[in-house]
Amino acid sequence: MLVSVLTLGCKVNEVESRSIMKELSNSGIDVTEQLISADAYVLNTCAVTVEADRKCRQYIGKIRKQNPLAPIYVCGCSSQNNPSRYLEMENVVFVSGSGKKREVISAVLSGSTKEKQSTVSEISCEYEELAIPDNVSSRIFVKIQDGCNNFCSYCIIPFVRGRERSRSQDEILKEIEASVGKTKEIVLTGINVSSYGKDIGSSLKELCSKLGDYPIRKRLSSLECNVIDDELLETLKNSGFCDHFHLSLQSGCDNVLKAMNRHYTTKIYAEKVDLIRKHFPNAGITTDIITGFPTETEEDFLTTCDFAKSMAFSDIHIFPYSERPGTRAARMPQIEMSERRMRAARLAEIKKKLVNDFLKKQLGKTLEVFFEEEYDGIAEGYSSNYVRVYSTSAHSGELLSVTPTKLYRKGVK
């Protein structure tokens, strides 16, 4: 029997899907993550935007084209949010949500397809431990927590992922130990990594300090600025963490941040960026910014643009605001989508200059680069501060110190 496990959405979803694959494999099932003809399919869905929801439902049709007779088992955030939409779809025999992934595994193994079934229910307050996946990629993502308590006014995730819950340190360390010798880099990921440990009497700092002895390059995924302090930054430096920080911003205007229910001001955010650069002078600091949020005026947007320039970000992920039914922001008066997109395009021009400025600062500096791919005699990888680096003297799989001398393609060489 061949089961295809397909994933839409974030890195957390990818990690969970690989754990599902491992559990099925341990039970003697052949598995693949490719969209090919298979005997059964598991679709792990995303609900971060309305568009993500739509793509997940469309994907059911793509699956049916591969095998019109195969049963489809659906799980994840989109089905947590609206299970009935999936139960109505042809070939879908089982629907669960973002929790209880083991129930999906059990349903596939039982092979019962006589009646459609949904097990979507309130999400547990306990972290659900799944099998450690077979991590064979060059960069391994290790999930350390799930859920979010922030309730930003534009975000559906706390409703479909549940409250914050942390994975035990023992299980995290066990997975990292299993990765030693298989990869050069791990990334600690989750829905809200900054909250790690609060529910189990620990902290992100304590976890990171325990990773110092492992001979693997380490990164943190997206962080909230409020978690940044001297103690955490010193711990990261002493424990071998990369000098790259993805510090979510969303808006550079205090009025908009308040309407978004973000729990900081631009003054606090700027202080945290300064603190990072005090400990990591050449840090790459990337961020997310939403344009066209319901309360954002033209003046607010220009304030955000000026703030982004002052932060000298090394990259910005830009998203035109997408209203999400069920959130507070969706009930506010909306800005025309054309205006949201125009603001995103204007901010993209600022981003282009900021990225270029940061790349120029890397020329002549020694960067630690993990080369992951190699094409036509040119190796490509990322520096510790997340700059794309190209080299004709390196090879895939090598971790080397490189001094770039020129801008090249999307990075430096």
In this structure, the answer to whether residues 342 and 388 fall within a common structural domain is no
Taking the alpha carbons of 284, 290, 291, 293 in that order, is the dihedral positive or negative? negative
The pLDDT value given to residue 138: 78
| Residue 91 and residue 165 in one domain | no
DSSP class of residue 67 equals -
Same domain as 177, residue 276: yes
10-residue mean pLDDT profile of the chain (413 residues): values are 97 96 97 97 96 96 97 97 95 94 94 86 94 81 97 97 97 93 93 98 98 94 98 97 98 98 98 98 98 98 98 98 95 97 98 98 98 95 98 94 97 98
Non-local CB neighbours of 276 within 8 Å, separated by 6+ positions: 228, 233, 245, 247, 283, 285
Same domain, 269 and 350: yes
**How many helices, marked H, and strands, marked E, lie in the chain?**
13, 20
Q: Rounded to a whole number, what is the distance in angstroms from the first to the last CA of the chain?
A: 47
pTM summary value: 0.95
For residue 194, the Cα-to-chain-centroid distance in whole angstroms is: 13
Query: Could you tell me if 404 and 413 are in contact, meaning their C-beta atoms sit under 8 angstroms apart?
Result: yes
Regarding whether 238 and 113 lie in a shared domain, the answer is no
Whether 398 contacts 371, CB under 8 Å: yes
Are 403 and 352 part of one and the same domain? no
Q: Of 97, 167, 103, 90, which Cα lies nearest the Cα of 129?
A: 167
Determine whether 210 is exposed, middle or buried from the number of CB atoms within 10 Å of its CB (0-12, 13-18, 19+): middle
Q: Are 272 and 227 within 8 A, CB to CB?
A: no
CA 249 to chain centre: 15
Structure tokens that stand for 103 in this block: 């129930």
- Domain boundary (65, 86, 118) is at 118
Domain boundary among 57, 83, 118: 118
On whether both 258 and 283 belong to a single domain, the answer is yes
63 and 110 inside one domain:
yes
Is residue 125 in some structural domain? Answer: no
Same domain, 86 and 44: yes
Whether residue 35 is found in the same domain as residue 173: no
Q: Is residue 126 included in any domain, yes or no?
A: no
With respect to residue 193, please indicate whether it lies within any of the assigned structural domains: yes
Structure-block tokens of residue 175 = 């997975």
Q: Are 180 and 362 in contact (CB under 8 A)?
A: no
Residues 330-354 have pLDDT tens digits of 999 999 999 999 999 999 999 999 9
At CA 99, angle to CA 19 and CA 22, rounded to 5? 10
Contact 156, 47 (CB under 8 A): yes
253 and 186 housed in the same domain: yes
Residues 6 or more apart whose Cβ sits within 8 Å of residue 338 = none
Task: Report whether 255 contacts 302 (CB < 8 A).
Answer: no
Do residues 21 and 164 both lie within one domain? no
- Judge contact between 366 and 340, C-beta under 8 A: no
pLDDT of residue 51: 93
Does residue 293 form part of some domain? yes
**Structural domain of 201:** 139-361
Q: Are 47 and 75 in contact (CB under 8 A)?
A: no
Residue 211, both tokens: 């990773």
**Whole-angstrom Cα distance, residue 263 to residue 273?**
16
CATH number of the domain residue 315 falls in: 3.80.30.20
- Residue 131: inside a domain: no
User: Is 63 within the bounds of a domain?
Assistant: yes
In a domain, 105, yes or no: yes
CB 140, CB 221: distance < 8 Å: no
